[in-house]
Amino acid sequence: MTMAAPIESLLNEIRESEDPIEELKSLRTAVYASPVSGLRPAALDPIQLAENYKTALQSGLNHTDDSVKVLALTQAIATLLKLSQTKAGLDALFRSDLLNKLKDVMLASDVIRYRVYELVVEASSASPVSLGYCANSGLISQMLGELIGDDVLIRATAIEMVSSLAQSQHGRQHLAQQGVMDQISNMIIAAESDPFSSLYLPGESQITLTASSSLVKFFGSLAIVESPQQVCEKYPVFLEVVFSMVMNLEPTLTPVALDTLGVLGGTVEGKQKFLSVLKQMSAVVSDGATELRVRCLEALAQLLTLPVEQQTEDLLLLTESWFKSLSPEPLGMIQSISTQPFAELHCSALRILIAIGSQPWAQEQMARTPGFMEWVLDRSAGKGKQVKECKFELVAALLSCSRVQQIFGSNTYLKLRSYLSEGPYYVHAVSSVTTEGAD
């Protein structure tokens, strides 16, 4: 007898149990405790899998207690996703009475409805074929309809679901065909007369702030998988909203905005968009809460990064102007932060120096700053593994510039070469001399 037998027994017992939640928990324990080989006979055939467990699942979905329905769906999602991996399984899931049962149970509550949407999004993301099944079921259209409802929190959740679907190319194509990108962009444009007005006027209810964050995360995630320049040009209001979030320094929205700026600014196209917001980011670096300072430093590092192969005269002038706009003494400000006894701040500041380290204008500033290169070469100035690794990356960045020897001179150049060859964790040997008769 395989371990699948007791599992099927537990499934049968759920229908008759007075406490189905406990039975479902026992089922989960039995599955986790079973070796894969013992479960394999029941998992090989999606049709058999659907037929064997459909009755038990439907029993859970028919239960009068909504918490049982939620738990039944939660336990079933992994199994149902296995069905969506083959055409036979997709037929069993979407061309049977199980689909109607899923639609019926969605009426019970918002939580249950979004559990089903979660299943649909994950199944749709697997392949264009599975997306076709999900679209034909009507469940994707129903989910997209949630974007125009009156409940702001539900709309925010729907946007997050759509963002997940947009991670696959076939998912983005489907959303574009349905006009969803433009629809979400129009939500931002209509902000003044819409509950999403906190996009421009942060500080209202937590629910509205959640919706605002979801909108920005949607376009931010879209920029990751598509061209940031294309996203910014097609949906310019998105960029304006991100800037607005940074300027208003709302604790809930600013972290999302800073992370998004970091994503967009990591490309050459994105770099040309952000000069107006840099001074505000500098203010956050100087006076913000520690978590916001770290996020801001990380975003600035992305914005200022310019690999050697991308260093055209125009882009070098751009990153130099950005850096100078941060502070009257930006290099001193960053160095000061990098000496603070907080490892996260220390490393985030060092990443800015790494970002500009290969750029000739930055090296010239470093060479003119008294004591700066001595600090870079001083291994005792950084404590901890992560700090030592960041310091090592900085040295490597400096050496990647073709003019490094010309800018710093031969003596400093040789010291940098030695630092690099010794590795990040090198410790200088300290010799001691003992004399006869010493205590």
Residues in the chain predicted with pLDDT less than 50, given as ranges, are 1-5, 36, 39-44, 192-193, 195-209, 432-435, 437-439
Angle, in degrees to the nearest 10, between helices 278-287 and 330-338? 40
**Cα 72–Cα 73–Cα 75 angle in degrees, nearest 5:** 65
Block residue for tokens 């406490």: 19
Q: How far is CA 154 from CA 82, 116, 147, 175, 181, in A?
A: 28, 14, 8, 19, 18
Residue 149: other Cβ atoms inside 10 A: 11
Give the number of residues written for the chain: 439
- Longest pairwise C-alpha distance within the chain: 95
Cα separation, 332 vs 44, in Å, equals: 64
Cα separation, 356 vs 300, in Å, equals: 11
Angle, in degrees to the nearest 10, between helices 66-83 and 87-94? 150
- Of 22, 95, 96, 109, nearest to 61 (Cα)? 109
pLDDT at res. 209: 46
Block residue for tokens 């149990």: 17
Q: Do 66 and 108 touch, CB atoms closer than 8 A?
A: yes
Q: Read off the amino acid at residue 339.
A: T
pLDDT at res. 381: 75
Cα separation, 196 vs 207, in Å, equals: 10
pLDDT at res. 219: 76
**Cα 24–Cα 26–Cα 30 angle in degrees, nearest 5:** 115
Helices within 310-431 (DSSP H only): 313-325, 330-338, 343-356, 360-368, 372-377, 385-399, 404-408, 410-422
DSSP secondary structure letters along 219-260: HHHHHHHS-HHHHHHH-HHHHHHHHHHHHHT-TTTHHHHHHH
